Amino acid sequence: MRIGVLATAVSLLLISYVLDRISAPGHAEAGRLIRLCAACLAAIPVLTTLLRNVGDGSSESFTDQLVTLAVLGAIVSGEYVTAVLVPVLMDLAHELEMKGMPGTRSALEGLRQLTARPATIIDEHGEREVLPHQVQVGQVLLLKHGATLVADGVVTQGCGAIDESSLTGESLPRDVSCGDQVFAGTVNVSGLLRVQVTVAG
C-alpha cells in the first residue's frame, strides 16, 4: 500500500509539471494545488509508519521520526516536491538495502566457514592440520581437491585449477602452476597443489 501511495504522489507531481507547461501565464495555481495534494498524500504512509512504530526505541523508529519531520517541514515551507521525494528516496534506499542483505549474509557465512575449516600444512614432520589463524608466512599449505585456501600464497609444486568466483565473480576456474599467485578464499577444483604462504591472518 505504501508503495502504491507514493507512486500515486509521484504521478501527481508529473501531472502538475505537465499542467505548468500547458497552462496560460498566470494560471499555474492548478499545478501548485496538485503538488500540495501529492505532498499530503506522500505524508500519509510516513505518518502511519511513525505512529505504528513510535516508542519502540529502534533505529527504524528514529529514522521514521526524521523522515516525518522532513516531510512536514517541506510541506509547511511550500517545498512540495521535496515532501514527495524524501519518502520515495528513503523507501528506494531501504529496498536496495534489503536486496543486498542476502548477498552480505552469504559472504559472511562463507567467511565463517573459511575461518572454521582447518588448513593442511606440510613441513619436515609431514602433514598436519591447523586452524586458519595459526597459519604463518613462509609455511607451505597442501591444497587438495575441494579444499579452500586460507591464506594468500604462491604455488611451489603441482598444477591444477582454482575457483576464484568468491573473489572475482568469474565462473570459469583459473589454471595455476608453479610460480602463480593464489588468494585466500579460492577453491582448488582440480589437481594437488603446494602453496607457500605470503600473506597470513
| Residue stretches of the chain with pLDDT short of 70 | 1, 23-28, 54-61, 100-116, 201
pLDDT of residue 40: 87
Decide if 129 contacts 179 (C-beta within 8 A): no
Number of separate helices (H) and strands (E) present in the chain = 5, 9
Question: Which residues have C-beta within 8 Å of that of residue 32, sequence separation ≥ 6?
Answer: 16, 80
pLDDT of residue 185: 85
pLDDT of residue 62: 72
**Could you write out the DSSP letters of every residue in 49-108?**
HHHHHTTS--HHHHHHHHHHHHHHHHHHTT-HHHHHHHHHHHHHHHHHHHHHHHHHHHHH
Domains of the chain in sequence order? 2-113 (no CATH), 118-199 (2.70.150.10)
Strands in 174-176's sheet, in edge-to-edge order, are: 174-176, 160-163, 187-191
Decide if 191 contacts 150 (C-beta within 8 A): no
What does the pLDDT look like over 80-133, one tens digit per residue? 888 888 888 887 877 777 776 666 666 666 655 555 578 899 988 889 988 888
Phi-psi region of 118 (alpha: psi -120 to 50; beta: other; left: phi over 0): beta
Closest CA to 199 of 144, 161, 151: 151
Closest CA to 44 of 93, 7, 94: 7
Interstrand relation of 193-199 and 187-191 (parallel, antiparallel or unpaired):
unpaired
pLDDT of residue 189: 94
